[in-house]
A and B are shown apart, each in its own frame.
Chain A
Amino acid sequence: MLQRIFKKIHVQQILNQNVQEKDSASPKVSQDNLSRDLKQNLKMLRNILGPSSDVVIREFSFGCEEKINAALIFLDGMTNKTIINESIIKPLMYHARLISPEELRPTNSIEIIKRTMLSVGEVKKVTPLEEAINDCLAGDTILLINGFHEALVVSTKGWEARSVEEPKTEAVVRGPREGFTETLRVNTALLRRKICNSNFILETLQLGQKTKTNVCIAYLMGVANPRLVEEVKSRLKRIKTDAILESGYIEEFIEDAPFSPFPTMANSEKPDVVAAKILEGRVAILVDGTPMVLTVPMVFIESFQSAEDYYSRPYYASLVRTLRFLAFLITITAPAAYVALTTFHQEFIPTPLLITMAAAREGTPFPAVAEALIMGTIFEILREAGVRLPRPIGSAISIVGALVIGESAVSAGLIGAPMVIVISLTAIASFVIPSQSDVAALARLILTILAGFLGAFGIIIGLLGGLIHLCALRSFGTPYFSPLSPLSLLDLKDVFFRVPMWAMLTRPRGIGWHDFKRQKWGLMPRPPRKNE
């Protein structure tokens, strides 16, 4: 443990060093401003942007007798060529013939070009070189004109992007089929389309010193707790790292319990899910470059709620909800329970079943715990192989693998047949709650080992430990186990049952609600009364 402290201090030092290094190394882009000389500017830009092959520098002249030299700098593949051709070059070359260099002399005259000649939506005037380059790297086009120390940055972002498709991870039978894409703007637009409200705020930050990734915080002002929004922002601002490539990076930097196996931030690929969560008072974090949107705070039961619960009828939704809890319980305890029953508590198995199971176990070489662990490992390997392989082979291989291993291991007498049944049941159940499946795998392992040593007592001790941990966890100030404990009777409407929409009167209290009431009371459909 003492060593640990030293290690900690050591790591701290290294980290401090790193940050300093970064600060000193990064200004390859100088703080310089642009000069009036186009040649010099271009030289400087070439210098900074280096030999990258996708940098296009287009020099041209325009105005009266083509006396004005100018240059466009943009990145090939990041920009929309049509805009550049039609809205920048064309107006300058064709319509600006009459402008003489003298006319441009007055200091504010670059403003004229900006105002009159560029038929593009977003144009800004930039002086510092660094800013211009950053914009250029993000897909904008720099227009440099000889004689000006200012550059015009024209918004020409446009690149090949995946279109809005149905998300593969969260398929629904009923409900919208669109999913987020890798482009932040598309994602914000998808959300904006769901929530047409001026209170719906999208704030953008840039994170990652090297990647300069755009990260967007989305919330509904007046519904989300302002303290929560502040907390999210301050945590995000604390991140000082090289790269943010996926929302998972952010999650690990700002989650409450970094050592806990439980995820304390939810993610979703579906705009309707994220919109619903924002409407409940949560804050969403969108990261450029990934379709996975984070929402905070997360509570444990969120893993058991699916978008479709709210689109299908309440009875069935409630049934399925309960089934998910059951499946979760099965997936974490089934192998452990089997091990405990067969090695410690044989008295709890009904006699005929015991005889059958004992017969199946005759001659198998490994103890039940070992069997459970081996089969569990094999299952995880098969699953991983199935996920990683190209889809057409993947499913085939996992099925064949499972059949061959399961079938032949049993017939060879290596593994008892009941164990194969238990493990496959566990596996199937684990697919029901995908967002907690990593927790489930860990819990299953720990419980199985505990059960192997102390039977049911071990399982109960393990579950109690888990309960304590769950009760102690918080996600952005909200108790993780929230509507269950601390108990909020009002919020139980959406835990084991999903009450009909007209009865969902309030927003969940657990999430630091602000605007408590969700809808009018008494919206239950009913035949009109006589005096109405």
Chain B
Amino acid sequence: MIILLMAAFAGIVLFETPGLIQKKYWRELIVFFMFLLLAFIVSLLQIFGAKVPNPVKGITILVKGFLSLMK
């Protein structure tokens, strides 16, 4: 599973970077790697079974808190 994930992300890197380097889009390259790293870390943690903070839980707490304030 991890190998598959690595392969997928390596595929993305190989797919995108050559074109960017050719065109000298350094800024884009940095943003690209930032997002990719984010996605990679999140999915890796999920595969390892680590408890990734779930944004939906956060939203739920936020909304519930807000609603109780309203009442």
Contact = CB atoms under 8 A, between A and B. Distances in A.
A and B touch in the complex (CB under 8 A): yes
Nearest to A6: B18
A25 interface: no
Contacts of B22: 5
Nearest to B22: A5
A1 to B, nearest CB: 4
A388 interface: no
A4 interface: yes
B56 interface: no
A5 B15 CA distance: 11
Interface SS majority for chain B = helix
Interface string A1-14: 11011000000000
Interface in B1-53: 14-15, 17-18, 22
A2 B22 CA distance: 11
A2 B21 CA distance: 10
Interface SS majority for chain A = helix
Nearest to B15: A1
Nearest to B13: A1
A4 B17 CA distance: 12
Interface in A273-295: none
A100 to B, nearest CB: 74
Contacts of B17: 1
Q: Which of A1, A2, A4 has the most CB of B within 10 A?
A: A1
Nearest to B17: A1
Nearest to A2: B18
Interface in A1-43: 1-2, 4-5
Interface string A214-240: 000000000000000000000000000
Contacts of B18: 1-2, 4-5
A2 to B, nearest CB: 6
Contacts of A1: 14-15, 17-18
A201 B17 CA distance: 47
A501 to B, nearest CB: 50
Q: Which of B14, B15, B17, B18 has the most CB of A within 10 A?
A: B18
Contacts of A4: 18
A1 B15 CA distance: 7
Nearest to A4: B18
A5 B16 CA distance: 12
Contacts of A5: 18, 22
A223 to B, nearest CB: 40
Interface in A121-174: none
A1 B11 CA distance: 9
A5 B22 CA distance: 9
A1 B18 CA distance: 7
A2 B14 CA distance: 7
A4 B14 CA distance: 10
A106 B22 CA distance: 66
A2 B17 CA distance: 9
A2 B19 CA distance: 10
A295 to B, nearest CB: 34
Interface string B48-67: 00000000000000000000
A140 B67 CA distance: 94
A45 B17 CA distance: 57
A1 B12 CA distance: 10
A217 B17 CA distance: 41
A7 to B, nearest CB: 11
B23 to A, nearest CB: 12
Contacts of A2: 14, 18
B22 to A, nearest CB: 7
A5 B14 CA distance: 11
A1 B22 CA distance: 12
A230 to B, nearest CB: 28
A257 B25 CA distance: 25
B21 to A, nearest CB: 9
B4 to A, nearest CB: 15
A316 B17 CA distance: 54
A192 B14 CA distance: 53
Nearest to A5: B18
A1 B21 CA distance: 12
B13 to A, nearest CB: 8
A4 B22 CA distance: 13
A7 B6 CA distance: 25
A4 B15 CA distance: 11
9 contacts: A1-B14, A1-B15, A1-B17, A1-B18, A2-B14, A2-B18, A4-B18, A5-B18, A5-B22
Interface of A: 1-2, 4-5
A-B pairs, top 9 by smallest CB distance, nearest first, are A1-B14, A5-B18, A1-B18, A2-B18, A1-B15, A5-B22, A4-B18, A2-B14, A1-B17
